[in-house]
Amino acid sequence: MKRIILFDGVCNFCSSSVQFIIKRDPHQKFQFASLQSEVGQKLISKYNVPNDIDSIVLIKDNRYYTKSTAALNIAKSLHRLYPVFSIFLLIPKILRDKVYQIIAKNRYRWFGKKDSCMLPSPEDRERFID
């Protein structure tokens, strides 16, 4: 089963993160949808993700993961050395999520914001489900 990543489609940092994942996911384990899309909203509803989510969301094995847990589980599935970052899952979630929240809270200020969701390249288009 494919893993689905829901991301903030107007956030430059989030869109860059999606491109980073695509380049390191040669087996195409992940599919993507923006949180703002109709598909993203349906998945949020289906998996009972809080509506006020301000995080990347990973849907895997009929469960959802957010914040640092989502990011580290994504890293665990990437190519080459990136799975080593999953060691940080041993750190208590409350501490990991504090760091995540600092980045999430400041992402527009630090990395900017787009007027509309990113458009994937033609070769990556099939990985986007919205």
For residue 63, give both structure tokens: 């469960």
Burial of 105 (0-12, 13-18, 19+ CB in 10 A): exposed
Please work out, in degrees rounded to the nearest 5, the angle formed at the alpha carbon of residue 26 by the alpha carbons of 28 and 4: 25
pLDDT at residue number 55? 84
Q: What does the alpha-carbon distance between residue 68 and residue 99 come to, in Å, rounded to a whole number?
A: 8
Does pTM top 0.75 for this prediction?
A: yes
Is the Cβ–Cβ distance between 38 and 130 less than 8 Å?
yes
More confident residue, 8 or 98: 98
Amino acid making up residue 17: S
Q: What does the alpha-carbon distance between residue 59 and residue 130 come to, in Å, rounded to a whole number?
A: 15
Is the Cβ–Cβ distance between 6 and 59 less than 8 Å?
yes
Please work out, in degrees rounded to the nearest 5, the angle formed at the alpha carbon of residue 98 by the alpha carbons of 50 and 128: 50
pLDDT at residue number 101? 86
Three-state DSSP class for residue 81: coil
For residue 103, give both structure tokens: 């980045």
Each residue's pLDDT tens digit, 10-63: 777 788 889 889 999 999 999 999 998 999 999 999 999 998 887 899 999 999
pLDDT at residue number 77? 93
Is the Cβ–Cβ distance between 11 and 113 less than 8 Å?
yes
Each residue's pLDDT tens digit, 74-120: 999 998 899 998 899 999 999 999 988 888 788 777 866 666 555 66
The residue to which tokens 């999953």 are assigned: 86
pLDDT at residue number 63? 95
pLDDT at residue number 113? 66
